[in-house]
């Protein structure tokens, strides 16, 4: 059961209550009536499942999993599945609501959903992981499907896990069903362009922000925290457009290269060293001083909660684009706002991945794969339109970009909900 406001008003850090109250605030800004706000806030469907798994030693352990569909007014549910020991129903509910808003902000015909299993996957063998995934997929199978709810990878789940889910549901339904999940390998209905799509979306938002501020990308100094699936491709994408990546951080430390990091050289170095540290000519910087490296644009692309009061007060960049999920704390966001530092929020900046998932699903439904160029062109268009629509509302409402994006998302969900009316 998802926590209700009256049950835990003492628990400020409950992720579900945080998201629910943000959606309510957006609803009040839009002057929606209370019944409509409650319809938008409350998850439509919550499924809790038990997942018995036979271990390699013959013993059976039982895990708990969830799939939550938050809102389906704009289309089938969309959202990842995570395997993590800290997963709980309130976290999954919060993430499902985030997905409703994110899909609406980038204007793709999906509602929000999310799933998860409370398990530490490091304690499972590969065979145990497959058995857990298949039993979880079986348990949530009545709820998912290409026109109901389409899962995708999230923390500790990958294209292999998606393949097992796709296969399990296909076996149950009696025919191959590629459109039931996205983030699949190419050989079974995955899509060109999926890898790197989030980074391309971040790039489009960075260019959009520069343009709106009357600045050319040429020579803009960027610092990127994180060199993984999102941070990795960003160096080339940004340098190709004239920017200079002068700072980079990973789990092992941080570096400063005032002349700019070369994407190919970094890729070669990382291939050998498995860390960014030791890049030729780089000066090492203390990780907690990373965002004080002289720069114009900061891109957190690693962890949540890193831009706190202290980092926000000392950050040298004059704008920020959130590639990571939730990189800025509430206090950090207030300080950045006071300092006049615009922030493209995660819900918009890192939505390239979910747009790519939509494209993969569309191709699976059509049974026709697009060329890479078409995929990229369409992704750029969706992200540009999403950025522009948030920017226009930001100027009309005079709110921070983060609050504006939420209002844009809630407004679109409200419009769909009103048009569809109330059944029965
Ligand atoms: P990843 O695991 O591929 O890479 C994470 C990177 O962060 C690595 O380079 C790691 O070394 C670095 N890192 C970890 N701890 C660090 C620390 N203490 N200081 C500095 N760097 C540290 O993850 P990813 O897929 O690139 O995701 C990064 C962020 O982007 C996450 O917040 C994720 O939720 C968000 N995101 C990812 C996608 C996607 O398509 N992968 C989509 C939307 C949002």
- pLDDT tens digit sequence for 406-421: 999 999 999 999 999 9
Question: Going by C-beta distance under 8 Å and a sequence separation of 6 or more, which residues neighbour residue 406?
Answer: 22, 23, 25, 26, 101, 347
- Number of separate domains in the chain: 2
Any ligand 1 atom below 6 A from CB of 266: no
Q: Is the pLDDT of residue 12 over 70?
A: no
- Residue 60 pLDDT grade (very low, low, confident, very high; cuts 50, 70, 90): very high
Atom of ligand 1 nearest to the CA of 287: 19
pLDDT bucket at 13, cuts 50 / 70 / 90:
confident
pLDDT digits (tens, 9 = 90+) for 227-269: 999 999 999 999 999 999 999 999 999 999 999 999 999 999 9
What would the mean pLDDT of 67-86 be, rounded to a whole number?
98
Q: Which domain holds residue 109?
A: 2-178
Q: Are residues 154 and 52 in the same domain?
A: yes
Contact criterion met (CB below 8 Å) for 78 and 149: yes
199 lines ligand 1 (CB under 6 A): no
Same domain, 29 and 66: yes
pLDDT digits (tens, 9 = 90+) for 17-27: 999 999 999 99
Give the model's pLDDT for residue 401. Answer: 98
Pair 281, 266: CB distance under 8 Å:
no
Q: How far is the CA of 35 from the centre of ligand 1 (A)?
A: 38
Residue 311 Cβ < 6 Å to ligand 1:
no
The string of DSSP letters for 365-390 reads HHT-PPPHHHHHHHHHHHHHHHHHHH
Report the SS3 class of residue 343. strand
Helices (H) and strands (E) in the chain, counts: 14, 12
377 tagged catalytic: no
Determine which residue's CA is closest to atom 35 belonging to ligand 1: 324
pLDDT category, 10, cuts 50, 70, 90? very low
Round the average pLDDT of the chain to a whole number and report it: 96
| pLDDT (tens digit per residue) in 144-182 | 999 999 999 999 999 999 999 999 999 999 999 999 999
418 occurs within a structural domain: no
Backbone angles phi, psi at 158, to 5 degrees: -145, -175
Q: What number is the average pLDDT over the span 132-150?
A: 98
The pLDDT assigned to 195 comes to 87
Rounded Cα distance between 209 and 215, Å, is 9
List the residue whose alpha carbon is closest to atom 1 of ligand 1: 228
Residue carrying the six token digits 């002068």: 246
Which atom from ligand 1 is nearest to the alpha carbon of 252? 11
Whether 288 lines ligand 1, by a CB cut-off of 6 Å, is no
Task: Tell the residue nearest (CA) to atom 18 of ligand 1.
Answer: 251
The reply to whether 115 and 232 lie within a common domain is no
Residues 24 and 169 in one domain: yes
Residues 208 and 334 both lie in one domain: yes
Closest CA to 72 of 111, 32, 108: 111
pLDDT of 9 > 80? The answer is: no
230 in the Ramachandran plot: left (φ > 0), alpha (ψ -120 to 50) or beta? Answer: alpha
Do 23 and 157 have their domain in common? yes
- Nearest to residue 184, comparing CAs of 217, 159, 147? 159
Asked if residue 111 and residue 256 are part of one domain, the reply reads no
Cα of 351 to ligand 1 centre, how many Å?
Answer: 14
Q: Are residues 173 and 223 in the same domain?
A: no
Catalytic residue from among 114, 118, 236, 244: 114
Q: Whose CA is nearest to atom 13 of ligand 1?
A: 251
Domain contains 290: yes
357 lines ligand 1 (CB under 6 A): no
% of the chain residues with pLDDT over 90: 95
pLDDT score recorded for residue 5: 59
Arithmetic mean of pLDDT, 375-381: 98
Q: Does ligand 1 have an atom closer than 6 angstroms to the CB of 157?
A: no
- Please say if the pLDDT value at position 8 is more than 80: no
350 lines ligand 1 (CB under 6 A): yes
Last residue of a domain, one of 178, 208, 241: 178
- Answer yes or no: do 170 and 230 share one domain: no
Question: Edge-to-edge strand order for the sheet containing 297-300?
Answer: 283-285, 253-256, 244-250, 221-225, 297-300, 319-321, 343-344
Q: What is d(CA 75, CA 149) in angstroms, rounded to the nearest whole number?
A: 9
- Judge whether 238 and 214 are in contact, CB under 8 Å: no
Of all atoms in ligand 1, which is nearest to the CA of residue 231? 26
Ligand 1: which of 94, 228, 247 to mutate, judged by most atoms within 8 Å of the beta carbon? Answer: 228
Same domain, residue pair 169 and 205: no
pTM, two decimals, is: 0.95
* CA–CA gap between residue 121 and residue 63 (Å, rounded): 11
CATH of the domain at 155: 3.40.50.10860
HSE toward the beta carbon, residue 205, CA cutoff 13 A: 35
Query: What is the arithmetic mean of pLDDT over 359-372?
Result: 96
pLDDT reported for residue 162 = 98
Of ligand 1's listed atoms, the one at least distance from the Cα of 155 is 34
Confidence band, pLDDT 50/70/90 cuts, at residue 299? very high
* 137 lies in the same domain as 215: no
SS3 71: strand
The answer to whether position 252 is within a domain reads: yes
The angle subtended at Cα 197 by Cα 265 and Cα 79, nearest 5°, is 135
Our CA angle for 233, 308, 275, nearest 5°, is: 35
Is the beta carbon of 274 within 6 A of some atom in ligand 1? no
Quick one: CA torsion of 107, 108, 113, 116, rounded to 10 degrees? -110
Q: Say if residue 1's pLDDT is above 80.
A: no
| pLDDT score at 306 | 96
Q: How far is C-alpha 69 from the chain's CA centre?
A: 17
What's the rounded mean pLDDT across residues 32-50? 98
- What's the rounded mean pLDDT across residues 374-399? 98
Average pLDDT over residues 101-118: 98
pLDDT tens digits, residue range 180-208?
Answer: 999 999 999 999 988 899 999 999 999 99
Let me know whether 85 and 28 are in one domain: yes
């Amino acid at each position: 059961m998802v926590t209700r406001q009256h049950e835990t008003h003492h628990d400020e850090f409950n992720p579900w209550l945080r998201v629910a109250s943000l959606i309510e605030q957006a609803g009040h800004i839009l002057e929606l009536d209370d019944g409509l706000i409650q319809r938008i806030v409350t998850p439509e469907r919550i499924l809790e499942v038990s997942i018995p798994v036979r271990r390699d030693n013959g013993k059976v352990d039982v895990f708990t999993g969830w799939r939550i569909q938050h809102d389906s007014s704009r289309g089938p549910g969309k959202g990842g599945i995570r395997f993590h020991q800290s997963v709980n129903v309130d976290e999954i509910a919060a993430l499902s609501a985030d997905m409703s808003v994110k899909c609406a902000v980038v204007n793709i015909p999906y509602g929000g959903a999310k799933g998860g299993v409370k398990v530490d996957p490091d304690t499972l063998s590969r065979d145990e992981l497959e058995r857990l995934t298949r039993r979880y997929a079986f348990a949530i199978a009545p709820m998912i499907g290409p026109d109901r709810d389409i899962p995708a990878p999230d923390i500790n789940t990958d294209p292999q896990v998606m393949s097992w889910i796709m296969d399990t549901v296909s076996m149950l339904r009696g025919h191959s069903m590629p459109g039931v999940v996205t983030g699949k390998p190419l050989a079974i209905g995955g899509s060109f362009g999926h890898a790197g799509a989030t980074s391309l979306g971040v790039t489009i938002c960075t260019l959009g922000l520069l343009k709106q501020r009357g600045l050319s990308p040429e020579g803009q100094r960027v610092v990127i925290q994180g060199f993984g699936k999102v941070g990795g491709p960003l160096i080339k994408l940004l340098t190709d457009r004239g920017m200079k990546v002068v700072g980079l951080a990973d789990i092992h430390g941080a570096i400063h290269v005032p002349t700019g990091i070369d994407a190919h050289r970094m890729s070669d170095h990382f291939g050998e060293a498995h860390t960014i540290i030791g890049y030729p000519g780089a000066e090492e910087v203390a990780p907690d001083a990373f965002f004080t490296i002289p720069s114009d644009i900061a891109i957190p692309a690693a962890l949540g909660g890193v831009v706190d009061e202290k980092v926000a007060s000392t950050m040298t960049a004059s704008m920020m684009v959130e590639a990571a999920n939730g990189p800025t704390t509430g206090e950090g966001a207030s300080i950045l706002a006071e300092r006049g530092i615009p922030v493209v929020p995660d819900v918009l900046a890192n939505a390239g991945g979910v747009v790519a998932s939509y494209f993969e699903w569309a191709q699976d439904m059509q049974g026709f794969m697009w060329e890479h160029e078409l995929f990229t062109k369409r992704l750029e268009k969706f992200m540009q339109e999403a950025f522009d629509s948030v920017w226009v509302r930001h100027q009309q409402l005079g709110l921070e970009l983060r609050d504006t994006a939420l209002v844009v998302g809630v407004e679109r969900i409200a419009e769909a909900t009103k048009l569809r009316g109330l059944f029965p």
